[in-house]
Structure 1
Amino acid sequence: MADTRDMERAEALEGVPHGFLTGVGHEGEPDPACILAGAQLVLVKQVHSPLALAVDSPFAPDARPEVDAMATATPGLVLGIVTADCAPVLFADREAGVIGAAHAGWRGAHFGVLEATVRRMEELGASRGNIIAAIGPTIAQANYEVGWDFVEQFEERHQSFFTRSRPGKWQFDLPAYVAWRLRSLQLRAVEDLAIDTYAAEDRFHSYRRATHRAEATDKRQYSLIGLSA
């Protein structure tokens, strides 16, 4: 049976097979045919690292490398990222026929996973001036409260991404921080879908929302991008 789960798409990636899939009501790995018929799904073991890998074939479930981003120039592959508040970022250079996908939580974004993804794409023939990046459903600043131990890991130049909320607490703007790092790479375009995983409880899983409600925190949603033959 075809995978019919709902998804969001980015205007900037129009014409590129992709989708930010919703999670509620859908469990398990998605069928890559939901965005690209006959494609193979490539997944990795995400560990909140800054590492990106060039791929040309899927990995066996028990042999997935511990990285948080991928790039490929191999037609017929769909790259998949799982998230539940962190930022899923999908990349494409249409002219070169190279795509990428990154899991950008605050650690990964802060320590370079977005830059690493672009470098892997360039190694495959992409040009950063032709790369489009789209940020999918991510926890919004209003729902991302952090303490000083979090804030002090950032530099003074990053303080614009924090707003004081109450004594000893700040709100962190993860999607704006991710967008800022992407724009600093001088890509062709950066789009933020501006969908809050915490607030959109009828469509997306949120690790923080589940934690606040003492619910199971192991549920995720997938973001996919494929390369047509």
Structure 2
Amino acid sequence: MLEIITSDAIPFRHGFFTRRGGASSGIFAGLNCGTGSTDQSEIVAINRTRVAEAMGVDLPALINVHQVHSADVIPVNAPLPERPRADALATATPGLALAVLTADCQPVLFADRKARVIGAAHAGWRGAFDGVLEATLDAMETLGAHRADIAAVIGPTISQSAYEVGPEFFETFTDEDRDTARFFANGAGDRMLFDLPAYGLHRLRAAGVGHAEWTRHCTYRDAERFFSYRRATHAGEADYGRLISSIRI
């Protein structure tokens, strides 16, 4: 049985899928939708087919990109023959389910109810820092959306208490904008704790979205429901599963 987290702020069919209800086993146990993982490709295809069915589309209409931690956005109006290198999608075409894969980074779903334009972004710290959230809003506006009418929801992501970083990471942010120091808390020694979802919300609100929220699920802390790159790394595992989040008109 698939478990799908939704938000009342998004009026269209959407979901932040957990790892429950998938066909994968071992370290990928559950709904691993990462075609770039070392999981069996036919099992990943089964998982993605289950997601497509839940979204009410054929598998080719479940569209995602080859994510590279960029600020690049792809507008789409038909299924893609191949996956371009980018980290966000936008469409005004009914029947296309935009999707992003994550395992600690922020999955962000966007919707303009009035213009009927949607977007989906993969926003880790690098993508958020470089402007992928704002770029997604820009792409949606070229399709007729208005950012004041857009609701943006951040799905399950790593929370501040689990996101330990070094001083050079802190300096990357504060050298650009000293006010970003408020997204860091002191950790052990010279370590700091970064609040990725709070930073994402800040960037969305500063960009002028009508509504922004986080579902408040931590991928690192809840191993039964979520995959986590950082948790897998700490456990010495060779690979990790990828969660999928999707939205369609």
TM-score by length of 2: 0.86
Q: Which moved more, 1:156-165 or 1:211-220?
A: 211-220
**Secondary structure, aligned partner of 1:103:** strand
Distance 2:74 2:147 in 1: 17
**Normalized per residue, which structure has more helix?**
2
Q: Which of 141, 153, 158 does residue 139 from structure 1 map onto?
A: 158
Distance 1:48 1:23 in 2: 22
Distance 1:129 1:183 in 2: 10
**In percent, how many aligned pairs have the same letter?**
48
List per-residue Cα deviations over 1:168-202 (Å, max 9, x = no partner).
10000000000000011121111110100001110
| Distance apart, 1:11 and its partner CA | 1.9
Q: Indicate conservation of the 8 Å contact 1:43/1:80, yes or no.
A: yes
| Distance apart, 1:5 and its partner CA | 1.9
Q: Indicate conservation of the 8 Å contact 2:118/2:248, yes or no.
A: yes
* 1:151 aligned partner, one-letter code: F
Runs of 4+ deviating beyond 3 Å: none
Q: Which of 222, 225, 230 does residue 208 from structure 1 map onto?
A: 230
Q: Which of 44, 51, 62 does residue 65 from structure 2 map onto?
A: 44
* 1:5 aligned partner, one-letter code: L
Q: Indicate conservation of the 8 Å contact 1:71/1:121, yes or no.
A: yes
Q: Which of 176, 184, 188 does residue 198 from structure 2 map onto?
A: 176
**Secondary structure, aligned partner of 2:9:** helix
| Distance apart, 1:37 and its partner CA | 4.7
Distance 2:155 2:202 in 1: 15
**Secondary structure, aligned partner of 1:102:** strand
| Distance apart, 1:33 and its partner CA | 2.6
**Secondary structure, aligned partner of 1:153:** helix
Q: Indicate conservation of the 8 Å contact 1:145/1:170, yes or no.
A: yes
Q: How many residues are paired up? A: 221
Gaps of 5+ in 1: none
* 1:159 aligned partner, one-letter code: A
Distance 2:238 2:116 in 1: 39
**Normalized per residue, which structure has more strand?**
1
Q: Which of 209, 212, 216 does residue 187 from structure 1 map onto?
A: 209
Q: Which of 160, 163, 185 does residue 163 from structure 1 map onto?
A: 185
TM-score by length of 1: 0.93
Distance 2:19 2:13 in 1: 19
Q: Which moved more, 1:98-107 or 1:216-225?
A: 216-225
Gaps of 5+ in 2: 21-29, 33-43
Residue in structure 2 matched with residue 153 of structure 1 by the alignment: 172
* 1:216 aligned partner, one-letter code: A
Q: Indicate conservation of the 8 Å contact 2:228/2:240, yes or no.
A: no
Q: Which moved more, 1:200-209 or 1:24-33?
A: 24-33
| Distance apart, 1:38 and its partner CA | 5.2
